[in-house]
């Protein structure tokens, strides 16, 4: 992997018309002077067997490229080796690495990825992404409701307002569950508008009954529900 990453570093550096010394200088400016011209040359020539995540991040920043493009051949290959002898489509590999999709095997033993919507099994990345999406939906529908209230009432605006209210409720239910899951895992909770303070209450009236069944049998569920 280090040899493959070295080749991608060389390609990106040449695309940007940077010398190895210039790249090393930029890495030093970013706080990692240990990435010298010699280190870069050894990486590009396949004579350095390891690359730390910190080095990948600094070199990526120095090249103006996301570190994921050093790790996977996004610009050159449609398939990526994610594990020894295990291959995925490159974009699927990127999604798995970023935590967007789960990694699994089919009946033939081939690796594949799939989107998991079961929040009980989601990663921290998945929970943060769902939190962001739910909050964005709530904000959008809140603003839409405010505009509809200013409009002349008719059948269309009433129906649109009802839909917006249903979306607001769904977004709040999602936030309540996601934040409960995050609290259970000890994750820091993003800030919310004061209007949404109630979704953090374990006794929130809008809490769907099925959520109680999910939390009931968990170790420490009582403490989490009281929090």
Q: What are the per-10-residue average pLDDT scores of the chain (227 residues)?
A: 94 96 98 97 95 96 96 93 93 90 88 71 82 95 86 73 90 91 90 92 74 57 42
Q: What is the pLDDT of residue 18?
A: 97
Strands (E) in 72-110, as ranges, are 79-83, 86-89, 102-105
| Cα separation, 104 vs 94, whole angstroms | 15
- Among 86, 52, 85, which Cα is nearest to 71's? 52
Q: What is the pLDDT of residue 83?
A: 92
Fold exhibited by the domain 1-71: 434 Repressor (Amino-terminal Domain) (1.10.260)
> How far is the CA of 117 from the CAs of 101, 130, 174, 182, 185, in angstroms?
10, 9, 12, 15, 18
Q: What is the pLDDT of residue 222?
A: 43
Sorted by sequence, the CB contacts under 8 Å of residue 75 that are 6+ apart come out as 11, 69
Cite the residue boundaries of each domain of the chain with CATH code 1.10.260.40. Answer: 1-71
Q: What is the pLDDT of residue 117?
A: 59
HSE at residue 140, side-chain half, CA atoms within 13 A, is 11
Q: Which of 89-128 are b and which e, b meaning 16 or more Cβ less than 10 Å from the residue's Cβ?
A: ebebbbbbbeebbbbeeeeeeebebeeeeebeebeeebbb
The enclosing H or E element of 113 equals strand 111-114
Tokens of 104: 């699994």
| Cα separation, 178 vs 187, whole angstroms | 11
Q: Is residue 35 left, alpha or beta, with left meaning phi > 0 and alpha meaning psi from -120 to 50?
A: beta
Sorted by sequence, the CB contacts under 8 Å of residue 8 that are 6+ apart come out as 69, 70, 73, 76
Q: What is the pLDDT of residue 126?
A: 85
Kindly calculate the radius of gyration of the chain based on its CA atoms and give it in whole angstroms.
24
């Amino acid at each position: 992997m280090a040899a493959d990453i070295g080749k991608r570093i060389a390609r990106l550096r040449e695309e940007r018309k940077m010398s190895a010394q210039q790249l090393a200088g930029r890495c030093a400016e970013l706080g990692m002077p240990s990435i010298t011209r010699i280190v870069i040359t050894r990486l590009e020539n396949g004579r350095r067997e390891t690359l730390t995540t910190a080095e990948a991040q600094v070199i990526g920043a120095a090249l103006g490229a996301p570190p994921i493009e050093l790790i996977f051949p996004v610009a050159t290959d449609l398939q990526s080796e994610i594990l020894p002898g295990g291959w995925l489509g490159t974009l699927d590999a990127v999604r798995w690495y970023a935590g967007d999709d789960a990694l699994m095997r089919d009946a033939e033993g081939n690796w594949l990825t799939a989107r998991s919507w079961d929040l009980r099994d989601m990663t921290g990345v998945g929970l943060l992404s769902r939190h962001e999406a739910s909050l964005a939906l709530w904000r959008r529908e809140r603003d839409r409701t405010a505009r509809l209230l200013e409009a002349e009432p008719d059948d269309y605006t009433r129906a649109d307002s009802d839909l917006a209210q249903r979306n607001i409720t769904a977004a709040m239910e999602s936030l309540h569950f996601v934040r409960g899951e995050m609290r259970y895992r000890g994750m820091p909770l993003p800030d919310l508008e004061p209007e949404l303070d109630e979704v953090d209450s374990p006794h929130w009236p809008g809490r769907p009954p099925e959520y109680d069944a999910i939390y009931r049998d968990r170790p420490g569920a009582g403490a989490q529900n009281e929090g």
